Chains A and B, each alone.
Chain A
Amino acid sequence: MNSTWTIAQKELLDLRRDRLFGILIIFLAVATLISVGVAAASFRTELDAYNLYVQQLSASGSATVPAAPLLFPLQLLRGGVEYLEILGALFAIVLGYGTVAKEKYRGTLQLLLSRPVGRFAIPAGKVLGLAVVWLVVVALLTVMTTAAILVIGNAPLQGIDIARILIAALIAWVYLVFWSSLAIGVTALSHRLSTGLIVSIVVWLAFVLIIPQIGDTMDPDNQVPGGLFATLNILKADELKVLANFAGFDGIRNGIEVSSVTKHFERLSFAFLGVKDKYNQLPIGLVWLDMWGYAITLAAATLASVTFAVGVTSRRNLQRKIS
């Protein structure tokens, strides 16, 4: 057994015994389940309102029956994806930070460095360990949320829906590994451990919350409750024509949004789950044709993050650390 795998196994054992890790994952799972439950309740409320409206129409003698609201089961996962996007990334940072910090706090760092392990064995083992942990966590969350759609949402799922959920799970795993690796690298580079955590959280704040928020804020259609174009009674085709005159502004807005890896994760997940109307019920192959660029950038960002973590977590950087 090589030393990288031995260190990865140690990480798995450490995390299995870590109560904080357990609490974080339970919190994430509960939040995700709540989001499915709330989305299902929201749909039922909408359906009740529709049924009442139809009853009133029928009582008034009207023969017109408006279109009933449709439930697309995978759209119930939108809140869960957003929780992974925000809280999942935060918890991934905490785990990445913890995997470096614990060696210093427990005094095991010197012991680890005294063993005949390769230059990259320690960081690669830690990244591998966390990647396995996230794989297990994402698998559990996937099973739970799928069950929640069936039980709480009372919505049937087809084989193709399961395939879409599995693709979204894979995307989530890549995204979480990105954040954990980034936190490992930043913590390894920081002279003081708490600085590593705080700097990682500032990066999280910027890329997960601030940049996407700026993009949303700059969206002209978000300026008026209910949407600018809906308020002005503009049809979709006319809206696109008008917006073509403001392509420069929209380019800057979109550029700001896509500078965040979080937006790549969000757009990919929403496309494959059909959360975005444009991709709803579209075959997976066609979604891929439109979204492969995002998949490549997310994978490249994660690869860069892993390389950064492995590259900077050197013996020298680890030894100069103060708690």
Chain B
Amino acid sequence: MNTFLVSARHEMLNTRRARTAHLLLIVFIGMVIASSVIGWVTNQTVTGIYEKVVADGLTMAPNPFTGVTPLYYTRNAVIYVLLIGSLMAIVLGVQSTLRDRKMSTADLILSRPVNSSARLIGQLAGLGAVLAAVISISLSVSWVIVSIINRAPLGWADTGRIIAFGLLSWVLLMTFALLGMLSGLRSKRETTALLVPFVIWSAVAFVLPQIGTAARPVSLLNPVPAVSSTGGYFDVVSAITGPLSVTEQFKRASSIILQDSAVTGSATPSILILLAYLAVMTVIVVATPRNRMRSGLHE
């Protein structure tokens, strides 16, 4: 069996054995499923509020939820992919490359006629399979819950949109897993290896969007991307920070795919940006020199 397949299988086996990884996986799957229920309960309440307001003669405005798509209930899954999924991917990525350095098994593996790039791509493929399985499980259960809420199975078009959202989530999570792998390869200490990608994640998720849109950090926890403040400074800065804000690009593309009426336009530019990040990160990780993979930790 070649290096690629062995590494991929080994990575999946390690993830299966890692109990802390399980904790994150359970939290992620649980929250993605819970998001549909939360969305439904809230929607029911808001509909009740609207009916009460109309009954009291306080408004003539149409129900803002008229014509809402069945996928409305999955919108919160976007934020859980971004919050829990990204951190889970980082932890898995860090552990995959740090493990060999920590236990000095990298020396043993690389003493064999093993191509270092094939080894890293194999590890990445293993992580990719794990993340794909997690996303598939959570979105499948979510599909069932949304179908129950709507009292009918979701149609092909909506199912296709959920699959597209799953694929996009996989692209984002793989990018963060690669960031974790890179940190695991380059850091001198385990704490730094875990912390640096978390800091980068927080800068990308909170600081960058705030600079460009004036959105407050907590408001960035909404599933809908922040709307830019317009005029002077913000017009210029958002043009620069917009493409760098991977998480906002993910929110934008996901909202369009899931037919969130708050976001309009084409998802294509955001998807291309996400794919570009994935490609760049893959090249950077795979190009890691052999001696870097063998370097020990300073602790």
Contacts and interface: CB of A to CB of B under 8 A. Distances in A.
B58 A242 contact: yes
Interface in B31-77: 31, 38-39, 41-43, 45-46, 48-50, 52-53, 56, 58-59, 61, 64-65, 76
A225 B224 contact: yes
Given A90-B198, A195-B20, A210-B83, A41 B59 contact: no
Contacts of B27: 202, 205-206
> Chain B interface secondary structure, helix, strand, loop or mixed?
helix
Nearest to B20: A198
B191 A101 contact: yes
A72 interface: no
**What is the size category of the interface that chain A forms with chain B?**
35 or more
B231 A48 contact: yes
A234 B60 CA distance: 10
B115 interface: no
A78 interface: yes
Most buried by B among A45, A87, A94, A232: A232
A98 B190 CA distance: 10
Interface string A53-93: 00000000000000000000000001100110111001000
Interface in B186-202: 189-192, 194-195, 198-199, 202
A94 B222 CA distance: 26
A234 B231 contact: no
B138 interface: no
A205 B83 contact: yes
A31 interface: yes
A245 to B, nearest CB: 6
B49 A231 contact: no
Contacts of A246: 45, 48-49
B210 A34 contact: yes
Interface string B174-190: 00000000000000011
A94 to B, nearest CB: 6
Contacts of B46: 220, 223, 228
A20 B207 contact: no
Contact of A214 (B20, B38, B192, B211): B38
Contact of A41 (B39, B195, B234, B262): B234
Interface of A: 20, 23-24, 27, 31, 34-35, 38-39, 41-42, 44-45, 48-49, 78-79, 82-83, 85-87, 90, 94, 97-98, 101-102, 105-106, 193-195, 197-199, 201-202, 205-206, 209-210, 212-214, 216-218, 220, 222-225, 228, 231-234, 238, 242-243, 245-246, 249, 266, 323
5 nearest interchain CB pairs? A105-B299, A42-B214, A82-B217, A232-B59, A198-B20
Given A218-B41, A220-B45, 14 more contacts: A38-B210, A38-B211, A48-B231, A94-B191, A102-B299, A105-B190, A198-B20, A201-B198, A202-B27, A212-B221, A228-B64, A232-B58, A242-B52, A246-B48
Interface of B: 19-20, 23-24, 27, 31, 38-39, 41-43, 45-46, 48-50, 52-53, 56, 58-59, 61, 64-65, 76, 79-80, 83-84, 87, 91, 95, 102, 189-192, 194-195, 198-199, 202-203, 206-207, 210-211, 214, 216-218, 221-222, 224, 229-234, 262, 299
